[in-house]
């Protein structure tokens, strides 16, 4: 690299004036208008449930919630219901007495009553050696085995070894827990994660803990919801109240990603820059000097703890956005990561869960800086969600048959293309 380029990092930015860098990188990707059927059709949504969500590994939680044998939590996944208008299944995610992470359908094998009635959105952890059904008192171990049946002698040919909780395939990667309800998954978890496994192998997810978590249920298709979080085109307008200058400046007024990577199987990755023109206010400057904040690490050399970000060494790095197909975004920065889950409920209703994750605080200034970053991000997430109902209303209005996307909206296009491929397979 020439000295001139080294001294002028802006020279390493894409030539947005004369190229469409993502299309130039991936000329094989078609770029026509996108029909709205996949966002509004109930039949298409049912096909997504059957061919995508019931076949693939889905994020269920983090290992920070399963620190000890006997720890467990319950996760409800509406999209996995067995009937179009059926009830929502929940799953017990637990660490058994031997330390193995397991997952089970939350249904007693006597007459089907839920065994664990814990609130799915409590985000906490409980601990039990045994799970007892509140209906008739059947008792299960945290390995799923049936331990006790009241009045057992009155049953006919009951084999307790065959009546344990129904297991679900479960696997862990970098402290992220995934489940798969397909009896015979076509891929291992790592095969489904693809290039993310190698690209993120050194990022310290295992050391990071949830500092803030938020959720909202919105009247919007799940893909429309994800797309709002995997492009920067909206930042100048949607985030004018919270971060009007951080990501939009003279070098990049439209918050274009500095690089975009698309992978087989629907996975994708983007890198965003912070504007070198950005001048944090006095409070933000003060807290950023003392600990990790909302998009960068503390100014004390601790950035070395966060290898694995910025895979193409883009200038003015802010954060990466990694799309894990089908419904998870993981956004690492030098200091932590943001997480986004998008849980389809119906063709036009989605439950979103967002989080920010930092290292465990070691001193009071860490707490202060983390809290400041958490509040800023909370407000930005609120802005992200506020337009989503309106987007769905417009798509369903009858006033359009398709939507168009620009070069730096290639991640939404790749998501759409992959969904179409899997539904039509």
Q: What is the pLDDT of residue 20?
A: 97
Rounded to 5 degrees, φ, ψ at 105 are -60, 140
Contact (Cβ atoms closer than 8 angstroms) between residue 423 and residue 44: yes
The stretch 84-112 carries a mean pLDDT of 97
Contact (Cβ atoms closer than 8 angstroms) between residue 350 and residue 221: yes
User: Dihedral sign, CA of 405, 264, 235, 274?
Assistant: negative
Give 134-157 as a DSSP string: TTT--EEETTS-EEE-TTGGGSSS
Q: What is the pLDDT of residue 173?
A: 98
pLDDT in tens, 326-337: 999 999 998 899
| Per-residue pLDDT at 180 exceeds 50 | yes
Helix (H) or strand (E) holding 410: helix 410-423
Question: Tokens in use for 346?
Answer: 């119906």
Q: What is the pLDDT of residue 296?
A: 62
- Burial 31-55, CB ≥16 within 10 A → b, else e: beebebebbbeeebbebbbeebbbb
The stretch 285-298 carries a mean pLDDT of 71
Peptide bond into 280 cis (omega under 30): no
Rounded Cα distance between 269 and 222, Å, is 19
Averaged pLDDT of the chain: 93
Quote the Cα angle for 421-397-350, to 5°.
Answer: 55
Domain ranges across the chain: 3-39+194-423, 57-181
| Per-residue pLDDT at 366 exceeds 60 | yes
Pick 57-181's CATH classification: 3.40.50.720, 2.60.40.10, 2.102.10.10, 3.30.70.2860: 2.102.10.10
CATH number belonging to domain 3-39+194-423 = 3.90.380.10
pLDDT in tens, 367-414: 888 898 899 899 999 999 999 999 999 999 999 999 999 999 999 999
Read off the DSSP letter of residue 104: E
């Amino acid at each position: 690299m020439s000295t001139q380029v080294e001294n002028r990092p802006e020279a390493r930015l894409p030539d947005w004036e004369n190229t469409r860098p993502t299309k130039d990188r991936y000329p094989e990707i078609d770029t026509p208008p996108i029909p709205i059927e996949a966002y509004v059709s109930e039949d298409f949504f049912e096909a997504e449930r059957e061919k995508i969500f019931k076949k693939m590994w889905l994020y269920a939680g983090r290992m920070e919630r399963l620190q000890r044998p006997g720890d467990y939590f319950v996760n409800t996944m509406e999209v996995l219901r067995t009937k179009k208008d059926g009830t929502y299944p929940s799953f017990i995610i637990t660490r058994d007495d031997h330390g193995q992470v397991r997952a089970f359908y939350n249904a007693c094998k006597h007459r089907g009553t839920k065994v664990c009635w814990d609130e799915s959105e409590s985000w906490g952890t409980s601990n039990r050696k045994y799970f007892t059904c509140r209906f008739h008192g059947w008792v299960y171990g945290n390995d799923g085995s049936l331990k006790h049946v009241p009045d057992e002698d009155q049953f006919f040919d009951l084999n307790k070894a065959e009546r344990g909780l129904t297991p679900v395939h479960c696997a862990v990667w970098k402290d992220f827990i995934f489940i798969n309800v397909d009896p015979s998954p076509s891929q291992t978890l790592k095969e489904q994660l693809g290039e993310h496994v190698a690209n993120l192998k050194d990022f310290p997810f295992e050391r990071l803990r949830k500092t803030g978590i938020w959720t909202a249920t919105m009247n919007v298709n799940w893909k429309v919801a994800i797309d709002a979080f995997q492009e920067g085109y909206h930042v100048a307008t949607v985030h004018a109240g919270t971060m009007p200058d951080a990501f939009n400046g003279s070098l990049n007024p439209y918050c274009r990603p500095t690089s975009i990577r698309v992978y087989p199987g629907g996975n994708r990755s983007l890198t965003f820059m912070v504007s070198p023109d950005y001048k944090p206010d006095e409070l933000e400057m003060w807290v950023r000097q003392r600990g990790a904040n909302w998009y960068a690490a503390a100014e004390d050399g601790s950035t070395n703890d966060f290898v694995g970000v910025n895979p193409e060494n883009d200038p003015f790095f802010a954060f990466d956005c990694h799309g894990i197909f089908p419904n998870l975004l993981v956004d690492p920065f030098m200091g932590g990561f943001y997480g986004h889950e998008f849980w389809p409920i119906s063709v036009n209703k989605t439950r979103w869960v967002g989080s920010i994750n930092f290292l465990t605080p070691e001193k009071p200034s860490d707490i202060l800086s983390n809290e400041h970053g958490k509040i800023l991000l909370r407000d930005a997430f609120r802005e992200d969600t506020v337009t989503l109902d309106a987007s769905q209303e417009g798509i369903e209005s009858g006033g359009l048959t398709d939507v168009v996307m620009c070069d730096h909206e290639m991640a939404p296009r790749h998501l759409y293309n992959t969904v179409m491929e899997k539904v039509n397979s």
